[in-house]
Amino acid sequence: MTLSGIRIPMMTSLIFWMLVWEIVGRMDIIFLIPPMTSVIAAGVGLVQTGSWQAATLITLRSFVLGMALAIAIGVPLGVAMGRIKVVDNIFGLWVNMFVSAPLSALVPILMILFGLGETTVFVTVFLFAVWIIVLDARAGVMQVPPSLIEMGRSYGASRFTIFTKIILLSALPEILAGIRIGLIRGVKGVVIGQILVSVIGYGELFELYSRSFDMERFWALTIILFAAAMLLSAAVEHFEKRIEYYAGAR
Amino acid sequence: MANPIPLRTADDATSDAIVEVREICKRYGDIEALRGINLDFERGKLTTLLGPSGCGKTTLLKIIAGLVPATSGQIRINGRVVTGPGPERAFVFQDFALMPWATVLRNVAFGLELKGVSQAERHRIARHYINEVGLSGFEEKYPHELSGGMRQRVGIARAFSVNADVLLLDEPFSAVDEQNRRKFQEDLLRLVDKERKTFLFVTHSIEEAVYVSDRIVLLSPRPGRVSQIIEPAIDRSAAPDVIRRDKGYLDVVEEIWQGLRQYAE
């Protein structure tokens, strides 16, 4: 970004808004916005508390388990849907319905089914992430160029070899894109699940801080979550770019 | 016509036919793509299937390759009836059909990889043919780093690597720009001469067909049938520029054009 000929670093915008926040906070207009510096100070203190560390552990555990299951089920299901018409007919309608459904509305039902605990959060993460992974994996295997499959056949590849050496590799960029979006949705799932359950992990902390008007810690926790979600997305994107480099001009 | 062009039909084929096409018909639902095709392709010759779009030339080539099943009729390779792809045939695709995630070397060696040839051996063979098609130094590049013409050279090197008797080329130069196309045709002739294989070539370019072929099979459209077989008697030892101005060459181009113009809009 350049402004009247002077190069301005990317971080400038961030620093500018943090300054605005600081000034507004210091003016003491509303208690909702404490000064940025005290939010950061609260964040530094927060990460050293046992309650934050325990909450992070629970959050990570639900997230990792939910994502692992979403990938383990989503990718094979999507691939099967892309290759086998019957499977597509059976699951197509449901996947398309759930991918755009407001899943938060289902969490209360999950709470009845799985109780007010980690299981509900884990299932929420799974439900938030799995559908887009299925759809992208399906799109990936359906987009394999027919000539690549003909090429495999003409050079004597078995159906299994064509599947492993051509179809799966060809679909890899889409599968990874699905997993990346699934991860972002999974972060939403873990937060929404915990907030609705509200007795475990970050949900409990959010509940505690907002109820006791501890805005410094509330914002510090929010910023930590935002940063974590962005970092996660950036990490997968970096990995994806390396894969797309191989896929190149497809 | 000043130079009478020798005409032959499939009936007086010699016994040295490596590919025999017998009464091949192909229907796609209500559409009749090919009707009663009988052809012999001689060993060591380059035969072109030429015709307007919709004449089923690519379909016929894919039937010979075993990639598309015929509705009726028979394909014999070396006297044996075939129903699917086989190691005695190698296919070169119009859109190159290269694996974008694999290097040039791995793409060229892929046919051998599928046959279970050891990595050292298949890389040795692949490097030889990469060199033959003029791509030395590009072994570790990926397809998207190459131009269209170079990508098709990879496709051709892959087809040569498996050491098939018959090479089937489906409009291999249609996605290559004009200058590179000419260079490509000249290189192809050199490889035909050197490798001593049978080539079946599909194109819609009359000039290309006359320039590279020993024999041209003209197909007429809807349904595809053999309408004419032409053997351009052109001295290929001459320089490419001389050939392209040769009267015999130009006459054959003109004759084919007269045969095909009725199908042009």
SS3 at position B164: coil
A contacts of B102 (beta carbons < 8 Å): 246
Instruction: Tell me what pLDDT residue B174 has.
Output: 80
DSSP codes, A110-136 = HHHHH-SSHHHHHHHHHHHHHHHHHHH
Check CB contact under 8 Å for B95 and A161: no
What are B74's strand-pairing partners?
Answer: B22
Let me know whether B215 and B237 are in one domain.
yes
Distance from CA of A164 to the nearest CA of B (A): 12
Residues sharing a CB contact under 8 Å with residue B85, sequence separation 6 or more, in sequence order:
A153, A154, A155, A156, B65, B66, B67, B91
Please check whether residue A84 lies inside any domain of the structure. yes
Q: Which of B202, B204, B206 is nearest to B251 (CA)?
A: B206
Please check whether residue A8 lies inside any domain of the structure. no
What are B22's strand-pairing partners?
Answer: B74
Let me know whether B22 and B73 are in one domain.
yes
Please check whether residue A28 lies inside any domain of the structure. no
Instruction: Tell me what pLDDT residue A66 has.
Output: 93
Please check whether residue A48 lies inside any domain of the structure. no
- Please give the tally of structural domains in chain A: 1
- Please give the tally of structural domains in chain B: 2
Let me know whether B123 and B237 are in one domain.
no
Q: Which of B139, B163, B187 is the last residue of a domain?
A: B163
Rounded CA-CA distance B53/B59 in Å is 11
Block means of pLDDT (10 residues each) for chain B, 265 residues, are 46 66 85 86 87 83 89 87 87 89 90 88 90 86 85 90 89 80 82 84 84 84 82 76 78 80 69
Rounded CA-CA distance A242/A45 in Å is 38
- Where helices occur in B22-118 by DSSP H, the ranges are 57-65, 104-115
Judge if ipTM > 0.85. no
Q: Which of B143, B163, B183 is the last residue of a domain?
A: B163
Q: CB-CB: which of B67, B102, B142 is closest to A154?
A: B67
Let me know whether B36 and B10 are in one domain.
yes
Tens digits of residue pLDDT in A189-206: 888 888 887 778 888 888
Please check whether residue A232 lies inside any domain of the structure. yes
Let me know whether B73 and B198 are in one domain.
yes
pLDDT for residue A250 is more than 60: no
Residue in the structure block whose two tokens are 């996660």:
A232
Distance from CA of A139 to the nearest CA of B (A): 18
Residues sharing a CB contact under 8 Å with residue A210, sequence separation 6 or more, in sequence order:
A218
Question: Which contiguous run of DSSP H or E holds residue A67?
Answer: helix A50-83
Which residue range(s) make up the domain with B11? 1-88+166-265
What average pLDDT does the segment A54-81 reach? 92
Indicate which CATH number applies to the domain containing A116.
1.10.3720.10
Let me know whether B58 and B119 are in one domain.
no
Check CB contact under 8 Å for A248 and B95: no
Instruction: Tell me what pLDDT residue B14 has.
Output: 47
Residues sharing a CB contact under 8 Å with residue A107, sequence separation 6 or more, in sequence order:
A120, A124, A192, A193, A196, A197
Let me know whether B105 and B153 are in one domain.
yes
Let me know whether B152 and B262 are in one domain.
no
SS3 at position B147: coil
Indicate which CATH number applies to the domain containing B241.
3.40.50.300
Which residue range(s) make up the domain with A238? 53-247
Please check whether residue A36 lies inside any domain of the structure. no
Rounded CA-CA distance B179/B142 in Å is 23
Residue in the structure block whose two tokens are 């499959």:
A149
Q: Which of B136, B163, B190 is the last residue of a domain?
A: B163
